[in-house]
């Protein structure tokens, strides 16, 4: 993981200002201890950024998603940990929430030639803290996103899920056009990305989702993204029937890739079962016979780990995803944007954030939530 000299130096510099002298024109969503997000998060007013030091740039965050992993980080159960920050007038160290976000370069420091004012960027290392209005960041920690016609701010802000889906589909098994992929959690952001990228590559998908009152609507939406078949988990009760149905769909062709899939019995010989999420915090159990007689390979995938060993691959992947999104072949996921207005007091803004996370952790949000944290720095 990258160190964050620019961010830490900014924190050090701001200690020199007295609380009363600071122009508290910006915002950050922070926490000082791990726990339930609705309990520990608050909105903090922070000073206006000074001019960027050499090799750094100032950025304004446009949109910053709330991902399931962000909740795990705040709860203290995620392996990637953020670095504490010092803010003037605040006694305890603070952690800035958020691992992903789209930002715009506002000011460029001496020696920065790869970026200019107005460029879109995303963060290279994890856990920089993106739930804020602005930040000073070292140039090495930023990845430029092409500002292509047709590329929306929403899609550009959410690169982690499509990047995960891309790697799952194309970096583990060499699938050929016409082959099949099976996944559960198909209505998640990653699941929807898998469906669209697979369709674009000529792959067919079998997608499992939970039963719900509006299941026909959900199926129709996923089929609209390119899902070949959408099935509920209830249909797994009759294992013989679902196996026969899958065999009919595939024409007996063995499925070689299963994603986060509890249906390993539906995979063919020499298949890969890849786990990329663990929000349910349940153990993965596989019969020994699958490993011995079907030569099933079970592995995990973590995008942060892949990025650490594929720096150049990260650049190419973001550029390719940007082109795909701009071409109209990748739809924005259902989403809502929560704006933390600069006019709101710290108390009002903190109350709004707590309500957002109460909804998210209770399961009452069925779409991606993105934060727009307003500040006065431009």
- E-strand stretches of 164-323: 180-184, 204-209, 229-232, 257-259, 272-275, 297-300
The one catalytic residue among 78, 166, 276, 307: 78
Block residue for tokens 């500040």:
375
Q: Is 78 a catalytic site residue?
A: yes
CB proximity list for 273: less than 8 A, separation 6 or greater: 258, 261, 264, 267, 286, 296, 297, 298, 299
Q: Check: CB of residue 137 under 8 Å from CB of residue 59.
A: yes
Please list the alpha-helical segments (H only) found in 94-138.
none
CB proximity list for 34: less than 8 A, separation 6 or greater: 40, 74, 75, 76
Sort strands 95-96 and 26-31 into parallel, antiparallel or unpaired.
antiparallel
Please spell the DSSP secondary structure of 253-289, one letter per residue: PPP-EEES-S-GGGS-TT-EEEE---TT-------HH
Q: Check: CB of residue 347 under 8 Å from CB of residue 42.
A: no
CB proximity list for 70: less than 8 A, separation 6 or greater: 97, 98, 99
CB proximity list for 269: less than 8 A, separation 6 or greater: 254, 294, 295
Q: How many CB atoms lie within 10 A of CB 72?
A: 16
Query: Rounded to the nearest 10 degrees, how much is the dihedral formed by the CA atoms of 106, 108, 113, 119?
Result: 0
Tell me the catalytic residues: 78
């Amino acid at each position: 993981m990258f160190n964050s000299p620019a961010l830490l130096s900014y924190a050090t510099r701001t200690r020199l200002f007295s609380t009363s002298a600071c122009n508290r024109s910006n915002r950050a969503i922070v926490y000082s201890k791990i726990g339930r997000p609705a309990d520990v998060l608050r909105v903090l007013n922070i000073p206006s950024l000074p001019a960027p030091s050499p090799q750094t740039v100032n950025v304004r965050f446009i949109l910053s998603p709330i991902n399931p992993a962000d909740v795990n980080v705040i709860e203290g159960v995620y392996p990637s940990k953020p670095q504490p920050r010092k803010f003037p007038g605040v006694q305890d160290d603070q952690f800035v929430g958020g691992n992903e976000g789209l930002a715009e370069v506002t000011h460029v420091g001496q020696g920065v030639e790869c970026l200019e004012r107005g460029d879109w960027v995303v963060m290279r290392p994890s856990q920089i803290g993106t739930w804020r209005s602005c930040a000073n960041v070292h140039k090495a920690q930023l990845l430029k996103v092409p500002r292509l016609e047709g590329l929306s701010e929403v899609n550009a802000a959410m690169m982690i899920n499509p990047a995960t889906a891309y790697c799952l589909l194309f970096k583990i098994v060499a699938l050929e056009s016409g082959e099949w992929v099976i996944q559960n959690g198909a209505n998640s952001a990653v699941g929807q990305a898998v469906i669209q990228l697979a369709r674009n590559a000529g792959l067919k998908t079998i997608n499992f989702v939970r039963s719900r009152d509006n299941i026909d609507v959900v199926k129709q939406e996923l089929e609209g993204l390119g899902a070949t078949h959408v099935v509920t988990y209830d249909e797994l009760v009759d294992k013989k029937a679902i196996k026969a149905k899958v065999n009919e769909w595939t024409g007996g062709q063995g499925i070689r890739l299963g994603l986060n899939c509890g249906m390993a019995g539906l995979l063919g010989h020499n298949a890969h079962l890849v786990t990329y999420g663990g929000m349910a915090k349940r153990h993965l159990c596989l019969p020994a016979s699958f490993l011995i007689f079907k030569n099933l390979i079970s592995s995990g995938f973590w995008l942060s780990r892949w990025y650490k060993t594929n720096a150049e691959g990260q650049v190419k992947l973001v550029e390719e995803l940007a082109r795909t999104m701009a071409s109209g072949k990748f739809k924005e996921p259902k989403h809502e944007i929560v704006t933390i207005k600069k006019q709101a007091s710290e108390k009002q803004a903190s109350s709004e954030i707590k309500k957002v996370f109460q909804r998210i952790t209770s399961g009452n949000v069925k779409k991606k939530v993105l934060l727009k944290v307003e500040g006065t720095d431009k």
